[in-house]
Structure 1
Amino acid sequence: MPEYRAHFDFDIRFANGGGMSGTGFRLDLPSAGATEDEIARLLVTHLGLALVDEVELRGLRIVEEPHRGSRGIPPVPAPEASRETRIVDLSHPIRAGLVTYPGLPAPTITPHLTREDSRARYAPGTEFAMDVIHMIGNTGTYLDSPFHRYADGRDLAGLDLSTLVGLRAEVFHLEDSWDASRRGIRSTTLADRDVRGAAVLLHTGWDRWFGRPEYGHGAPFLTGEAAQWLIDAGAVLVGIDSVNIDDADPSTGSGGGERPAHSLLLGAGVHVVEHLTNLGALPPRGARFTAAPPAVEGFGTFPVRAFAELPA
């Protein structure tokens, strides 16, 4: 189903005095037929305003555009166990030679038992292939457990599956809201959502560079103060489709050894999933997110098959 948004400037006057204005504002709409009065009411709801006397919209345009999560628009209902669902794959495939994070080793895949050799071990017409993969845990789309950052944190085997499977997803579509001079995602960008118990997924569009040299430079990231806000707001997991949830760009002053988002989130037991992809296929609300790694003891990071469930 197509989705629509309104583009406009506005002036708001309050019944008890004062006012506010905005330019280049964009707002999700329930349909293309929303009237100017309906859009004005949605604007007031989205901004959480009270005692509004008058709303004036200027340069109003209604365009077909994916929703970004404006308040006041009913969310897509979450899938139920008895209903058919559609699965959206959010993981990068792993292959031999794949460069996930610049500077880290790429995986190698070698045969342990070839199909040809197996024929001598089994009955006629029966054959198997058994292969060995050698890779760092930070390969493809992967999850960081607290043990990745803290020696006394939970390793992959110690994670509670209820914090990894079927999580309510709050997707923030940010690919058109930042530029090279302002790469850090701040709490003010996230503060209009209820994220308690949710997987917060940050769609920056940076996955378009995955596997290319551009992926490691100038990437968007989550600021430390935004990480602390998500912790205080009760998020269970935070995922991003970028090279790192922190600023890891070696060419910037803040891209050195500090990792405030990792330190804060993992210290609070909030899982981190990096190198997601295809987040643009998800609505702002209404999906269920899963990213479960194997239960490896004494290991902090491992690839996941991350996916979202949506009503069919």
Structure 2
Amino acid sequence: MTQASAQHRAHFDFSISFANGGGMSGEGFRLDLPRPDLSAEEIGVLLVRHLGLALVRDVDLRGLRIVEETHRGSRGADAAAPGVDRVIDLSHPIEAGMITYPGLPAPAITPHLTREDSREKYAPGTEFAMDIITMIGNTGTYLDAPYHRYADGGDLASLDLNTLVGIPAEVFHLRDSWSADRRGIEAVTLADRELAGSAVLLDTGWSSRFGTPEYAAGAPFLTEGGARFLVDVGVRIVGIDSLNIDDTESGGARPAHSILLAAGVHVVEHLTNLDTVPAHGARFTAAPPAVRGFGTFPVRAFATTSESH
């Protein structure tokens, strides 16, 4: 991370007292900072704003440390600044023989017309290559349409581009929020933001294992309660950088797919590079080709964000 784009968080314990009586405290709290040179008083104000508190009398921060660390989505820290647009690629490249999901066939790429053969068909000095790719729709970074789960659901050709292009992104940086014995992402983890109309992107860090045997087991996922919550608040897209939006190790049930796709919420799986996307302020695009009678296809998923000068 360059000095210009470095992000910082404050680590501290705190006690808060209220003007009308009572108080609250916390240990090991972490808070995103808009810049690293904030005073303890300014960080206290950010904390109150992040927690949505009223009638606060005093804020006492203890053991305050400011650390260079990627933002996780604290309210008030990521105010947009004017700058130039940056495009962040969130897709795994597709190549012959790659394994996306264990048990599914790898793509095969074969020539239809080689450059050598094309020289006989075109003017001197002009040549082309035309290749054939054979692959399952669940290859690389791909989007699920309702037809993937439901026979009467909309196929890829039916999807409205307005729900796929330039959608406000809310990225939940969860790399330190799950463990091997608690892999499910619950509704309560996603409840601190306004998410209506957004693309909710779940950054678990699991994409670092993509293409290895370790990618296939123990992956984080969205719980049934988390999926119901996201439908209830009106999100448009849910994406994850993991093996599956569901827990593939709990039998054949797929509650997250079932709930999201029944509500017309697009699902994008096998994302990557989500750690480079800010928690707020970016826009997400993941548009598949308009194939009739097809429910899943690779996308070139990307985020656009503004970088200050």
TM-score (norm 2): 0.95
Residue 264 of structure 2 aligns to a residue whose secondary structure is coil
- Structure 2 counterpart of 1:132: 132
The 8 Å contact of residues 206 and 220 in structure 2, kept in 1 or not, is answered as yes
- Structure 1 counterpart of 2:179: 179
- Structure 2 counterpart of 1:111: 111
The partner residue of 1:297 within 289, 292, 308 is 292
Residues in 1 aligned to 2:174 and 2:50: alpha-carbon distance in whole angstroms: 17
Residues in 2 aligned to 1:311 and 1:45: alpha-carbon distance in whole angstroms: 24
Residues in 2 aligned to 1:180 and 1:51: alpha-carbon distance in whole angstroms: 40
The 5 A counterparts of 1:68-79 are: 68-77=72-81
Structure 1 residue 84 displacement after superposition? 4.3
Partner amino acid for 1:233? V
Residue 93 of structure 2 aligns to a residue whose secondary structure is coil
Residues in 1 aligned to 2:268 and 2:78: alpha-carbon distance in whole angstroms: 27
Structure 1 residue 224 displacement after superposition? 0.9
The 8 Å contact of residues 72 and 173 in structure 2, kept in 1 or not, is answered as yes
1:287 correspondence with 2:291: no
Structure 1 residue 52 displacement after superposition? 2.4
Residue 14 of structure 2 aligns to a residue whose secondary structure is strand
The partner residue of 1:33 within 24, 33, 37 is 37
Partner amino acid for 1:281? T
- Structure 2 counterpart of 1:10: 14
Residues in 1 aligned to 2:273 and 2:113: alpha-carbon distance in whole angstroms: 35
- Could you list the per-position Cα deviations for residues 272-295 of structure 1 after superposition, in whole angstroms to 9, with x for gaps in the alignment? 000000011111111111100000
1:53 correspondence with 2:48: no
Aligned length in residues: 303
Gaps of 5+ in 1: 250-254
- Structure 2 counterpart of 1:252: none
The 8 Å contact of residues 78 and 280 in structure 2, kept in 1 or not, is answered as no
Residue 120 of structure 2 aligns to a residue whose secondary structure is coil
Partner amino acid for 1:292? A
Gaps of 5+ in 2: none
Over aligned residue pairs, what C-alpha RMSD do you find?
1.4
The 8 Å contact of residues 20 and 55 in structure 2, kept in 1 or not, is answered as yes
Partner amino acid for 2:258? S
- Structure 1 counterpart of 2:301: 306
- Structure 2 counterpart of 1:260: 255
- Structure 2 counterpart of 1:152: 152
Identity over the aligned pairs, expressed in percent? 70
TM-score (norm 1): 0.94
Partner amino acid for 2:60? E
